[in-house]
Amino acid sequence: MKKTFYLCAAALAMATMSCGGVQTNNNQNNEGENQDQQTEEADEFGNEESYPWVFPEGQKNGELKEGETVLSIHSFYPNKIKESDDPANETYIYYNATLKSVGEKKSMVDNVEMPNSLIIPIPEGQTAKKGDIVLTWWQSGSGMQRAIVTDDSNPKQPKVCYLDMDWTEDGKGFANSHANEQLKPNSFVVLKDGEMTPGQPIYIEGDYTKLILLSAHEKYTLCKGFAGKIGSYYSQYVKLVPLHQNLQPGDKIRADFVGTYNDGYTVEKVDETIGRVWAKDSFDKTKIFSILDVLKE
């Protein structure tokens, strides 16, 4: 499998997540001129042929402990690596699982061997307070979620409002329907401003591609983007979105549109309790966004 090195121009409004190489915005888009660099980047870590991203395959996201809960794409990864012609361009969903054993480069998640870089640990003993944003999963369903704590009367089992689900005015959105859902103990990790840890909302400097951080390396950052696609970006262009931006009515913001923080939005109101922002677009139409889906100008 060839690991191609991709470069995206800064003038593009949106970068695609269509490669196993590195994406950036440094205006280098002449593939011929960068062929030597492509080969160097692809071979830098000695990844196995099946691993489709330019990233240290065996890098651990913190301490991995046998028996602990993790988030992983183990339900998808093995089959797509074997069957897909372009596994880097596939959709991947992170589910909760149990870490069975830990290896230097790969570990066993349930009964599937997975690269350590694609495993997100959920350390035991976490507590949360009201207003904290946590990385977890949809507890009455499945799939990785970020959520805001709405009730901390039991800090080890807080109640939350999910931030990666839609909130609607008619109350029929998934986030509305599962508001104040109580998390199980040892099923979440608190996200903190300024830390390059899994689950953090991030964007790419220049083109404002909206992403979720999966694993951070000094040179590269592995990210999950629109439609569940995973890509590797140069870390120097990866910027954290503040978890708490102190948004006020009238503020000019960027907001998510098909995986990009687009400009032209104005804040109407903010409900910090449920982590939602009402904003008008340039056509004077009001939309509701998660606080992770907006970026203050």
DSSP string, 107-176: EEETTEEEEGGGEEEE-TT----TT-EEEEE-TTS-SEEEEEEEE-SSTTS-EEEESSS---TTS-SHHH
Identify the pLDDT of residue 34.
43
- For 147-185, the pLDDT digits (tens) are 999 999 999 999 999 999 999 999 999 999 999 999 999
pLDDT reading at 234 higher than 80: yes
Is position 192 within any domain?
no
Please tell me whether residues 266 and 286 are part of one structural domain: yes
Please tell me the number of Cα atoms within 13 Å of 93 on its side-chain side. Answer: 10
- For 194-219, the pLDDT digits (tens) are 999 999 999 999 999 999 999 999 99
Please give the DSSP secondary-structure letter assigned to residue 270. E
Partner residues linked to 135 by β-bridges: 146, 189
Q: What pTM does this model have?
A: 0.89
| 256 within 8 A of 293, measured Cβ to Cβ | yes
For strand 252-257 and strand 260-271, is the pairing parallel, antiparallel, or unpaired?
antiparallel
Closest CA to 58 of 98, 120, 100, 104: 104
Q: What is the mean pLDDT of the chain?
A: 89
Is position 88 within any domain?
no
> Which strand (E) or helix (H) includes residue 101?
strand 95-101
Is position 152 within any domain?
yes
- For 68-95, the pLDDT digits (tens) are 999 999 999 999 999 999 999 999 999 9
Is position 268 within any domain?
yes
Determine the Cα–Cα distance for residues 200 and 134; give it in Å rounded to an integer.
10
Question: Domain range spanning residue 149?
Answer: 133-187
- Long-range (24+ apart) CB contacts under 8 A made by 169-173 are 169/288
| 196 within 8 A of 221, measured Cβ to Cβ | yes
The mean pLDDT of 129-141, rounded to a whole number, is: 97
How many domains in the chain?
A: 3
Is position 4 within any domain?
no
